[in-house]
Chains A and B, each alone.
Chain A
């Protein structure tokens, strides 16, 4: 993976340089955007709802036992907004969308469709990478924003309905509001934007360097998902360091 980082940076730079052409490729980006949304929204809601619930279930009884029940909303809200929603949704999207990107571009590479584009003087970075990059860079932060809200709802529902926690909806959100501010949410959403760039660049790069037949495509898909997740987790540490108040 690490020997390809230079190539991935070059690909990212080329896609950035092509950003002025994004409007021209808006239809392709919109198609990608809706594909990402339709494929992922339901899963994002389910996943984030239960993450919120589990967080409340794990922390709630411990805090209540120590007389800190009023902090349940704060801890669940803070961890979901800043860490769990951006990272776990990025992992989900790497699996669902990154794999699809690598498979589609990889099969285009193997079956000479990308060579055909080049012979027509159509730049594959403009035609294939730019729309995917822009669509994911918009879609993932939106999905993470939804995931944060749904995760809070899941946490609040479990905290209020579980007898060992018994923190009301109102108390949960009061605690959440007193601790989590807009900066914390923006922090998580910004991380997801960076993760989106990582997923799109890694997956498109893997697709573009695919060699061989169906086995090569399968290998690219696996590498795209694994490399994306590894880079998401590593970059999460550095982003957290940079974004610490």
Chain B
């Protein structure tokens, strides 16, 4: 195992004045926050609040109009920084390659970058699938898996990178409550086991308060509050309270 792959410490992530507009419509209004190494940081907000756009900036899939994103104090836009630190993203849909088997999906990073021999890749794939409770699914196709299983395979694929920063995009959306709990446990377990920095974007309040060390509530591209789960619960902002206590009652 090379040095880069074996390093297990989480990284510090800083977002400063991040601003983004599409066709003149401002989606992110100068966001500022910092995620500590090894922390589970949840960005929570209603649909359309700019969470996924923010996530795409963090992984380098979008260019900001203004502001900067720093990993360990270095700008993420630089290709050297992107290759220096290992980041992984678990997409909302899982984003598994449908033409590949589960095993090939999980081992894709290692096989494409030729970091291991085929035998070693097979061993690592088996190990990572065991970690997410999907041992023996190597030969299955993604189309044969349930939504929850696909997300767990996506987590296994992220784990193969031995990431220092994992980004989760709506990890419990479209899942039944039991599968959602399994995914939430997975996030916490990984964080405790490899001390990875985890940034979770979700509108799931149960997930956020269950896994987060700190939570940021975002609405219409602005951060309303940042704090521990207890601090956020006690925050006075009416929009925060409205989001936290929105409930449906049949009259």
Binding site for B on A (CB under 8 A): 24, 104, 107-108, 111-113, 115-122, 127
Q: What total of A-B pairs shows CB separation below 8 Å?
A: 51
B87: A residues at CB distance < 8 A:
119
By secondary structure, the A interface counts as: helix
Contact of A113 among B88, B92, B97, B109 (CB under 8 A): B97
Q: Whole-angstrom distance between the alpha carbons of A122 and B157 in the complex? A: 13
* Extra A-B contacts (4), CB below 8 Å, given A112-B92, A112-B93: A107-B98, A111-B93, A120-B112, A120-B161
Provide the main secondary structure of the chain B interface.
Answer: loop
User: Could you list 7 A-B pairs, sorted by A, with CB under 8 Å?
Assistant: A24-B114, A111-B93, A112-B92, A115-B95, A116-B95, A116-B97, A127-B112
Q: Output the nearest chain B residue to A123 by Cβ-Cβ distance.
A: B112
Please tell me the size bucket of the interface on B. 20 to 34
- Please give, as numbers and ranges, the residues of chain A lying within 8 Å of B121 by CB-CB distance: none
Q: Which of B82, B88, B91, B109 contacts A122 (CB 8 A)?
A: B109
What is the minimal beta-carbon distance from B209 to any residue of chain A, in angstroms?
Answer: 27
Chain A nearest CB, measured from B7 CB (Å): 16
Residues from chain B with Cβ under 8 Å of A120 in the complex: 88, 108-109, 112, 157, 161
Q: CB-CB < 8 A to B11: which residues of A? A: none
- Chain B residues in the interface with A (C-beta under 8 A): 56, 59-61, 82-83, 87-89, 91-93, 95-99, 108-109, 112-114, 157, 161
Contacts of A104 in B (CB 8 A): 99
In the assembled complex, the CB of B140 is this many whole angstroms from the nearest CB of chain A, namely 17
Looking at the complex, which one of A108, A116, A122, A127 makes contact with B89 (CB distance below 8 Å)? A116
- CB contacts (< 8 Å) of B59 on chain A: these are 118-119
A113 touches B113 (CB 8 A): no
The interface residues of chain B lying within 8 Å CB-to-CB of A116 are 89, 91, 95-97
